[in-house]
């Protein structure tokens, strides 16, 4: 079926609890990746707008209605946001699909996670009240020390386009739970639902300035946010080169950053797997979920050579069965990639792999029956050498490359042969082997006999060039808290007696 002619709400920038036109009044088109049609536009913020938003956030911290709230009070706002998101689930999922291109049922699942994430951080905000002031035992009775956990201040949150509202929530929910005031800058190619979050905050009465949302280009809105002297921290999810630029700019002000910069994750499959089809499905899901546009995608399939031929035969059968269609169509399992630029980037990766001597076992082209939209067949590439670009670089599209191994040692070497370190998976019925690989993988996340499950309770993040810092769980809340030591002299009537006292007259 054709995608209905849906136009998005015409929003402005969300600053200080109000919709405000950008200073320069510029706007950017929103393109539906399934039809290549313009379906609306968003405001294009510049440095002037960033400054207004940061001032609004700073002002919110000085006011009692936000700056002096308890965790329990903030929890009420977070739960109200969750309830409103749930109420608008169908609408938000539809906006997400026409903005991002992911299948509607995936978008709806993301919205469910948004609701759960806000509720989870509401619970943590309440629990924070009992942890706000914590005594520290000392070895000297003459002093007493405690630690305050307090909001870090004004935080800049920069989010990607592959999970627009969910990635926004991963940052906004813990930042608000901690009591920070935030300025959110979502990706300019998927901002619709982040702007709708502004309307939700307005509807539930979130105090003005607690969350401000500015849309626009990275160099015009993102860069000024990173370098703004009154922003106390930057949390960023996105590409490695942009992460380097953010670190460099933040370093000039010794500003803390947390970075999640993608990956090139391995999935290692041994010949003792319980069931071939179960393993094949995890291999597909690990790479082709979210149209292949997932930072943790297990896009390097490392197969034990004794089952490689049989596994690839079955992999081909499953891959050919994936429904590629209009993402609003029922049972769609693969939609278009996000934009023309991303389409061309992915196709160039495939072309380069072929030119370097790899074999395109399946896919690598636009489906013939889809004349419009940025669609790419799920692609499987074999005869891959570790020197090839397709093995080394993050594609961020539905492309899986394959290598084989003989021994555990060779499998570990191949798995860790990457500059990234976000996720890694192993499929084997030998749980002792799985434990060995869990310890040997150079990554922040390990999946055993599965790939890509993600929950809001455990930490999420990587090592090496996948970045540093952790999101989700209690670890994310710590990102937005300042730890302040307070030490008190317990005997103020007693002299310290370090210096010799002058004679008294």
- pLDDT (tens digit per residue) in 245-276: 999 999 999 999 999 998 999 999 999 998 99
pLDDT value, residue 448: 98
pLDDT at 501: 86
User: 3-state class of 382 per DSSP?
Assistant: strand
pLDDT on residue 103: 97
Whether the pLDDT of residue 5 is over 80: the answer is: no
Structure tokens at 12: 């402005």
Query: Tokens 């049972």 sit at which residue?
Result: 331
Instruction: In whole angstroms, give the CA distance from residue 96 to residue 105.
Output: 11
Residue 387: alpha-carbon gap to chain centroid: 29
Both tokens assigned to 167: 């990635």
Region 30-57: mean pLDDT is 97
Per-residue pLDDT for 438 more than 70?
Answer: yes
The pLDDT-based confidence of 7 (bands split at 50, 70, 90) is: confident
**What are the DSSP calls for 264-281, one per residue?**
--EEEE-TT-S-HHHHHH
Q: How far apart are CA 175 and CA 294, in angstroms?
A: 23
Contact call for residues 335 and 343 (beta carbons, < 8 A):
no
Mean pLDDT of the chain: 96
Mean pLDDT score, 192-216 = 98
Whether residue 4 has pLDDT greater than 60: no
Asked whether 311 and 303 are in contact (CB, 8 A), the reply is yes
- pTM, entire model: 0.96
Give first-to-last CA distance, the chain, whole Å: 99
Quick one: tokens of 393?
Answer: 């670089």
Q: Give me the mean pLDDT over the 332-346 stretch.
A: 98
What pLDDT, on a 0 to 100 scale, did the predictor assign at position 159?
98
Q: Label the pairing between strands 481-489 and 143-151.
A: antiparallel
3-class secondary-structure state, position 240: helix
CB 330 within 8 A of CB 361: no
In this predicted structure, the answer to whether residue 3 has a pLDDT above a threshold of 70 is no
For the stretch 372-408, pLDDT in tens is 999 999 999 999 999 999 999 999 999 999 999 999 9
For the annotated catalytic residues, the residue numbers are 260
Q: What CA–CA distance (Å, rounded) separates 420 from 415?
A: 10
152, 180 contact by CB (below 8 A): yes
What's the CA gap between 389 and 386, in Å, rounded? 8
Q: How many residues does the chain have?
A: 505
Among residues of the chain, what percentage have pLDDT more than 70?
98
If you average pLDDT over residues 304-332, what whole number do you get? 97
Taking alpha carbons only, the member of 106, 122, 242 closest to residue 166 is: 106
Average pLDDT over residues 192-219: 98
Predicted local confidence at residue 2, as pLDDT: 46
């Amino acid at each position: 079926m054709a995608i209905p002619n849906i136009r998005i709400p015409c929003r402005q920038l969300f600053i200080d609890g109000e919709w405000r036109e950008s200073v320069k009044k510029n706007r950017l088109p929103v393109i539906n990746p399934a039809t290549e049609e313009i379906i609306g536009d968003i405001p294009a913020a510049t440095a002037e707008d960033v400054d207004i938003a940061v001032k609004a956030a700073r002002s919110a911290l000085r006011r009692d209605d936000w700056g002096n709230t308890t965790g329990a009070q903030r929890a009420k706002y977070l739960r109200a946001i969750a309830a409103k998101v749930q109420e608008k689930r169908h609408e938000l999922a539809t906006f997400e699909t026409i903005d991002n291109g992911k299948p509607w049922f995936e978008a709806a699942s993301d919205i469910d996670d948004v609701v759960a994430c806000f509720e989870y951080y509401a619970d943590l905000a309440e629990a924070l009240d009992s942890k706000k002031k914590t005594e520290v035992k000392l070895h000297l009775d003459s002093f007493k020390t405690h630690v305050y956990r307090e909001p870090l201040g004004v935080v800049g949150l920069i989010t990607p386009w592959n999970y627009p509202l969910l990635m926004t929530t991963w940052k906004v929910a813990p930042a608000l739970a901690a009591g920070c005031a935030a300025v959110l800058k979502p990706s300019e190619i998927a901002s619709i639902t982040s702007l709708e979050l502004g309307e939700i905050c307005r509807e539930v009465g979130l105090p003005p300035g607690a969350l401000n949302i500015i849309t626009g280009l990275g160099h015009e809105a993102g860069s000024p946010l990173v370098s703004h002297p009154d922003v106390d921290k930057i949390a960023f999810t996105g590409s490695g080169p942009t992460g380097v630029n953010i670190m460099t700019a933040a370093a000039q002000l010794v500003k803390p950053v947390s970075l999640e910069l993608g990956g090139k994750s391995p999935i290692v499959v041994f010949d003792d797997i319980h069931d071939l089809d179960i393993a094949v499905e995890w291999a597909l899901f690990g790479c082709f979920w979210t149209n292949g546009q997932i930072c943790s995608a297990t896009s390097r399939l490392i197969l034990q050579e004794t089952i490689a031929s049989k596994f690839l035969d079955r992999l081909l059968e499953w891959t050919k069965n994936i429904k590629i269609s209009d993402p609003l169509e029922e049972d769609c399992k693969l939609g278009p990639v996000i934009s023309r630029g991303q389409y061309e980037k992915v196709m160039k990766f495939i072309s380069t792999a072929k030119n370097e001597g790899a074999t395109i076992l399946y896919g690598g082209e636009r489906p013939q029956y889809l004349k419009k939209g940025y669609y790419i067949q799920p692609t499987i590439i074999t005869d891959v050498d570790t020197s090839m670009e397709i093995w080394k670089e993050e594609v961020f599209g539905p492309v899986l490359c394959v290598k084989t191994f003989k021994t555990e040692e060779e499998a570990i070497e191949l798995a860790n042969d990457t500059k990234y370190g976000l996720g890694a998976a192993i499929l084997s019925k030998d749980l002792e082997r799985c434990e060995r690989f869990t310890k040997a993988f150079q990554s922040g996340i390990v999946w055993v006999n599965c790939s890509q499950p993600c929950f809001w309770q455990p930490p999420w993040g990587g090592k090496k060039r996948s970045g540093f810092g952790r999101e989700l769980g209690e670890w994310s809340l710590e990102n937005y808290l300042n730890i302040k030591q307070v030490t008190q002299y317990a005997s103020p009537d007693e002299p310290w007696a370090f210096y010799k006292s002058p004679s008294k007259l």
